[in-house]
Amino acid sequence: MAAKRSTILLVDDDEDQIALLTAILERDRTYRTVSSTSPHQGLELARQEAPDLAICDVSMPGMDGIELTEILRVEFPAMPVIILTGMEGSDTAEAAFAAGASDFVTKPVEPRTLLARIQRALEEVPARQILREATRDRFDITILGTHPRIQQLREFIDNVASAARVPSLLLGESGTGKNLVARAIHAASEAAPFRFVEVNCAALPANLLEAELFGYEKGAFTDARQAKQGLAEVAASGTLFLDEIGTLPVELQAKLLTFLESRAFRRVGGTVERRSDARIVAATNANLMEEVRTGRFREDLYYRLAVAQFVLPPLREIRSDIPVFAAYFVEKAAAYFRKPAPTLDPESSRQLQEYDWPGNVRELRNAIERSLIFSKGPLLAVDVPAGRGGGDAETSAPAGTGPALPLGLTLEEVERRYIAATLKACDGQVARAAEELGVTRKVLWMRRKRLGLLD
């Protein structure tokens, strides 16, 4: 039986370029192609055909290749996207990769180069899917715990999700899971089939944040070479999550209030009134009432956002649920590292409940993952920071168990450093290092490749 040919989606407003790419890819019946000269039609074609890979021109009317890549990356997370452009320059390449492109090819296309890039991208798909499965719990919508405050949170999510698309406001300290709750509201609501779009209001200055939220028209400012949709427009019938809303510049608060009241907005530099029915969820760790009193946050905007409001509890107020969270993180981290899931030793369980966890769930998770890396055997001793208030900024592993690692590292960076340190301790002997890490040489090689540790 002949092997199934991979389907390649081609999106380019140049018909001649489409014909050239089709000829290159369908030669010898290596690939099957579907194509469109319209980015919007190309997106619909992707939804119909579910292609194995997409090739998009960067410069197209209506929607450029960067915008199309961003949408494809959300709707088809494991599908590689190759950006094709006639423009040289690091800015274009940087924008393409920032949007989630797998590769970047300049025109005129050299057939052997393009075919090699496609083959490499398709070969990486299984690894990308495995990694996505391994890290999917970072976007899990499971709300754990039996504490009364957690029960109240579940009821809040159910009530908000089942109501009309009223704005909701999530308050609480950093690390209490506001992002997770926003996703849970989205998943339980009528917006679930549509997109969840997140905006970090603290990440951009006011002028750029307005363009990010509401989009801009061609020529609105110096670098506006093409019109671009704002995230309020992209969210459409889905959910728009405004994180760190307390940092929203005062000059933009009035425009956000107008949008919340009317669901209408104009792009920067535009005159056409547009609408979005996205569900609005906002979150902040700031005391918004204090911000209102000092004039840094509009009172009318606060009350408009706080139609449905919930204060997420810090870990120190729900200590009885800490072992539940810890056991969950142990199981997920063990699956990620492909290790047997150990049991928390009784002393660690006691210490976990006594510590105040100023970083809340995020800090607890990092402590579990860091300790599991250094752990061997059926019992897990968690490295709980000294004191009740958070310990030192630098926290090492228990003596003799591994290299010192600072708090705040991502799981990927912890893994990279630990593998590198193990290889160094084993004098570069891969077989010995794999044995120390409890994995096969092949698994270690794959991890080193993904983490950029291959020479």
The residues of the chain that CATH labels 3.40.50.300 are 148-312
Q: Where in the chain is the domain with CATH 3.40.50.2300?
A: 6-123
Q: What is the mean pLDDT of residues 263-278?
A: 89
Among candidate residues 157, 177, 115, 123, the one with its CA nearest the CA of residue 328:
177
pLDDT greater at residue 30 or residue 298: 298
Mean pLDDT on 10-20: 92
Residue ranges of alpha helices (H) inside 215-345 are 231-235, 250-262, 288-293, 299-305, 322-337
Structure tokens at 441: 């040489």
Higher pLDDT, 414 or 239: 239
Closest CA to 14 of 67, 55, 47, 66: 55
Those residues whose C-beta lies under 8 Å from the C-beta of residue 28, and which sit 6 or more positions away, are: none
Point out the least confidently predicted range of 110-119, 129-138, 169-178, 244-253.
129-138
Residue 387 has a pLDDT of 58
Percent of the chain with pLDDT over 90: 33
Highest mean predicted confidence (pLDDT) among 20-24, 366-370, 440-444: 20-24
**pLDDT tens sequence across 379-399:** 888 888 765 544 333 333 333
Radius of gyration, alpha carbons of the chain = 25
pLDDT for res 138: 37
Q: What is the CATH number of domain 148-312?
A: 3.40.50.300
CATH number of 6-123: 3.40.50.2300
Confidence of residue 2 (pLDDT cuts 50, 70, 90): very low
User: CB atoms < 10 A from the CB of 311, how many?
Assistant: 14
213-232 as b/e, with b when 16 or more CB fall inside 10 Å? bbbbbeebeeebebbbbbbb
Greatest alpha-carbon span in the chain = 73
Distance in angstroms (rounded) separating the CA atoms of residues 353 and 320: 7
Q: What DSSP designation does 190 have?
A: T
Contacts of 379 (CB under 8 A, 6+ apart): 342, 343, 344, 345
- Stronger pLDDT, 340 or 386, i.e. the higher one: 340
Residue pair 364/322 in contact (Cβ under 8 Å)? The answer is: yes
Burial class (CB within 10 angstroms; exposed 0-12, middle 13-18, buried 19+) of 362: middle
* Percent above pLDDT 70 for the chain: 88
What pLDDT was estimated at residue 139? 37
Residue 435 has a CB neighbour count (10 Å cut-off) of: 14
Q: Is the model's pLDDT at 408 over the cut of 60?
A: no
Q: What is the pLDDT of residues 85-121, one digit of tens each?
A: 876 554 666 677 767 788 888 888 888 888 988 988 8
CA distance 435 to 431: 6
- Dihedral over alpha carbons 267, 192, 168, 309 (to 10 degrees): -160
Confidence of residue 309 (pLDDT cuts 50, 70, 90): very high
pTM of the model: 0.57
Work out the pLDDT band at 317, boundaries 50, 70, 90. Answer: very high
Q: Are 57 and 104 in contact (CB under 8 A)?
A: no
CA distance 137 to 134: 7
370-396: b (≥16 Cβ within 10 Å) or e: bbbbbbeeeebbbbbbeeeebbeeebe
Q: Give all strands (DSSP E) within 136-175, no chain letters.
A: 168-171
Q: Give mean pLDDT, residues 292-313.
A: 92
Q: Take residue 84 and report the two structure tokens written for it.
A: 């094709």
What the block records as the tokens of 241 is 């999550």
Mean per-residue pLDDT for 210-218? 88
More confident call, 47 vs 414: 47
Query: Which has the higher per-residue pLDDT, 223 or 70?
Result: 70
Asked if residues 447 and 434 have their Cβ atoms less than 8 Å apart, the reply is: no
**DSSP SS3 for 55:** strand
Average pLDDT over residues 198-212: 85
Instruction: Give the residue range(s) of CATH 1.10.8.60 domains in the chain.
Output: 322-451
Nearest CA-CA partner of 312 in 184, 170, 185? 170
User: What is the DSSP secondary structure assignment for residue 4, as one 8-state letter?
Assistant: P
CATH fold for domain 322-451: Helicase, Ruva Protein; domain 3 (1.10.8)
User: How confident is the model at residue 61, as a pLDDT?
Assistant: 86
- Do 39 and 46 contact (CB within 8 A), yes or no? no
